[in-house]
């Protein structure tokens, strides 16, 4: 009988999770560390009926110059997947003339959320 490796004997236990995103985050971190034994104790919502409703990034892009005939959405998604991480790529991309900013130049993210809510 083959003896399990040290990493194979480690168990990660999540108890009473309230957000399904926590389970996914733990699973991704475990994969990075070479761990595979995840146990759930009474998760509030699993599997989550609305997995597509979980938070997913949306990119707001302001272009200096639009050059080339390529697909901007696909190019941006591929760039983010390779430079940041495949799970962080923007599911939606919206090109704007400018971003809403305060007098001191800070981006007003709440206005972007309001714009997004009005479009739905």
96 vs 61: CA distance, rounded Å: 6
pLDDT at 107: 93
Residue extents of the structural domains in the chain? 9-51, 56-119
The pLDDT, as a whole number, for residue 28 is 84
Phi, psi of 10 (to 5 degrees): -85, 130
pLDDT of res. 67: 66
DSSP structure string for 21-74: HHHHHHHHHHHHHT---EEEES-SSSS-TTGGGS---EEEEE-S---SSS-HHH
Q: Render pLDDT for 15-43 as a digit per residue (tens, 0 to 9).
A: 888 777 777 788 888 888 888 888 888 87
Give the chain's residues under pLDDT 50.
none
CATH number of the 56-119 domain:
3.30.300.30
Q: How confident is the model at residue 54, as a pLDDT?
A: 57
Spatial separation of the C-alpha atoms in residues 21 and 30, rounded to whole Å:
14
Cα–Cα distance for residue pair 97/111, rounded to 1 Å: 14
């Amino acid at each position: 009988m083959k003896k399990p490796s040290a990493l194979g004997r480690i168990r990660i236990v999540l108890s009473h999770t309230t957000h399904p995103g926590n389970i996914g985050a733990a699973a991704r971190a475990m994969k990075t560390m070479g761990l595979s034994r995840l146990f759930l104790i009474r998760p509030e919502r699993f599997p989550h009926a609305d997995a597509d409703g979980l938070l997913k990034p949306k990119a707001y892009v302001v272009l200096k110059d639009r050059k080339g005939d390529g697909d901007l959405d696909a190019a941006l998604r591929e760039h983010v997947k390779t430079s940041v991480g495949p799970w962080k790529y923007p599911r939606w991309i919206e090109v704007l003339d400018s971003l809403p900013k305060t007098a001191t130049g800070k981006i007003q993210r709440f206005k972007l959320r309001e714009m997004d809510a009005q479009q739905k």
